[in-house]
Amino acid sequence: MIHLYYDSKTGNVRRFIEKVIQVTGWSAHRIQEHMDVEVPGHLVTFTTNFGKIPTLTEDFMKSHNDKIFSVTSSGNRNWGRNFGVAGDKVAEMYDIPLAFKFELSGTMEDINQFIDIIKNQYYDSKRGSKKLDIA
Ligand SMILES: Cc1cc2nc3c(=O)[nH]c(=O)nc-3n(C[C@H](O)[C@H](O)[C@H](O)COP(=O)(O)O)c2cc1C
Nearest residue to 78 (alpha-carbon basis) of 44, 52, 51: 51
Nearest residue to 10 (alpha-carbon basis) of 105, 116, 132, 120: 105
Does ligand 1 come within 6 angstroms of the Cβ of 77? Answer: no
In tens, the pLDDT along 52-96 reads 999 999 999 999 999 999 999 999 999 999 999 999 999 999 999
Enclosing domain of residue 62:
3-132
Assign residue 128 the CATH number of its domain: 3.40.50.360
Does ligand 1 come within 6 angstroms of the Cβ of 6? Answer: no
Are 57 and 31 within 8 A, CB to CB?
Answer: yes
Are 45 and 86 within 8 A, CB to CB?
Answer: yes
Rounded to whole angstroms, how far apart are CA atoms 27 and 37?
A: 13
Q: Rounded mean pLDDT of 36-62?
A: 97
Which of 31, 53, 76, 103 most suits a substitution to test ligand 1, by most atoms within 8 Å of the C-beta?
76
Please tell me the pTM assigned to this model: 0.92
